């Protein structure tokens, strides 16, 4: 450990840091896949039927932030929060 994070010798804290590092690595891998896959595949149908927004109308990357309705982002945040708890 070049930075000296584990020099205190606390086994529980070291175990927690290992788990957190694995979790963050997995999230980073999923985020990378989530950025690449929409270039080649789009879900059929509507993202927001009430506003007539199809999945094919949503761009990739940062351009998607402005297209998805606020309620859609709220649902996404709630889902991610629930997954974080379990």
Rounded to whole angstroms, how far apart are CA atoms 41 and 32?
Answer: 15
Q: What are phi and psi of 29, to 5 degrees?
A: -65, -40
Confidence (pLDDT) at 77: 94
pLDDT of residue 59: 82
Q: CA 30 to CA 24: how far, in whole Å? A: 10
In eight-state DSSP terms, residue 41 is: -
Residue 1: pLDDT above 70? no
Give 86 or 71, the one with higher predicted confidence: 71
Of 80, 38, 82, which Cα lies nearest the Cα of 60?
38
- Once rounded to an integer, what is the mean pLDDT over residues 59-79? 88
Q: How far apart are CA 60 and CA 40, in angstroms?
A: 10
Q: How far is CA 1 from CA 9, 14, 53, in A?
A: 12, 11, 50
- The full length of the chain comes to 86
Give the tens place of pLDDT for each residue, 9-57.
788 888 888 899 999 999 999 989 988 888 888 889 998 888 899 988 8
| Residue 8 pLDDT greater than 80, yes or no | no
């Amino acid at each position: 450990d070049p930075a000296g994070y584990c020099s205190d010798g606390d086994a529980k804290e070291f175990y927690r840091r290992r788990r957190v590092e694995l979790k963050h690595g997995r999230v980073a891998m999923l985020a990378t896949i989530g950025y690449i896959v929409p270039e080649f595949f789009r879900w059929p149908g509507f993202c927001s039927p009430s506003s007539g927004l199809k999945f094919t109308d949503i761009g990739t990357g940062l351009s998607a932030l402005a297209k998805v309705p606020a309620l859609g982002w709220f649902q996404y945040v709630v889902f991610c929060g629930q997954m974080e708890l379990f």
